[in-house]
């Protein structure tokens, strides 16, 4: 039976994520009655978190939605407590880090989209022996479309992948099935938008397999 994965958002709000999960073999569910029965949680990209959540004043924040922050933090902690798999993508990585007591860097240079509004690209290095390195090898290229990043790591998290400037591109928890990437696997290859990077569908399929 395919795993049911909760996608934080409304139906058709995040079509790239929905399509990527379906292609990976999941049944996509949305927050509401009975979402606690889902086998995994996916936190999608979006605007910045309210910096008061990690004890800072706003310096460089865009599109803050405090109601969304609270909804996603509640869901995070519910799935953490149940020890069910969680995957955060871009903003989702930042939500996970803050949910576990970490902080964010409110502005990082060189990681945003191009002037034409396309994802940037950069090479990365994966941790030896980590799950991401097993999927893609130690050195590989991903897309980039963010201006904030993880600062101090949340409790139990470790860096699985980093960019050449040291920005964390993937985190995982040392004892719980919690994973997060700062890049956008839902926009790589399986969506037909980038053919000069790794195939993001492999990561999505791996995550779905963890929920089965």
Q: What phi and psi, each to the nearest 5 degrees, are found at residue 28?
A: -90, 130
CB 94 within 8 A of CB 56: no
Catalytic residue among 90, 111, 190, 211: 90
Distance from C-alpha of 122 to C-alpha of 163, rounded to nearest angstrom:
7
Distance from C-alpha of 31 to C-alpha of 159, rounded to nearest angstrom:
29
Distance from C-alpha of 26 to C-alpha of 18, rounded to nearest angstrom:
9
186 annotated active-site: yes
169 annotated active-site: no
Catalytic residue among 61, 173, 184, 190: 184
CB 168 within 8 A of CB 157: no
160 annotated active-site: no
Catalytic residue among 72, 160, 169, 186: 186
Catalytic residues: 90, 184, 186
């Amino acid at each position: 039976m395919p795993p049911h994965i909760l996608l934080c958002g409304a139906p058709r709000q995040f079509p790239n994520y929905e399509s990527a999960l379906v292609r990976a073999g999941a049944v996509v569910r949305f927050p509401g009655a009975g979402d606690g029965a889902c086998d995994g949680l996916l936190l999608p990209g979006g605007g910045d978190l309210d910096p008061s959540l990690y004890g800072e004043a706003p310096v460089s924040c865009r599109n803050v939605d405090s109601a969304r922050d609270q909804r996603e933090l509640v869901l995070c902690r519910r799935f953490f407590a149940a020890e069910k798999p969680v995957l955060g993508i871009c903003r989702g990585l930042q939500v996970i880090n803050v949910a576990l007591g970490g902080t964010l860097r409110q502005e990082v240079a060189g990681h945003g989209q191009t002037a034409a509004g396309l994802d940037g690209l950069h090479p990365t290095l994966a941790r030896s022996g980590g799950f991401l390195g097993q999927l893609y090898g130690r050195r590989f290229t991903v897309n980039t479309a963010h201006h904030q990043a993880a600062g101090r790591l949340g409790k139990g998290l470790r860096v699985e992948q980093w960019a050449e400037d040291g920005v964390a591109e993937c985190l995982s928890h040392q004892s719980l099935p919690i994973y997060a990437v700062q890049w956008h696997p839902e926009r790589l290859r399986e969506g037909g938008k980038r053919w000069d990077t790794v195939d993001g569908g492999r990561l999505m399929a791996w995550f779905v397999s963890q929920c089965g």
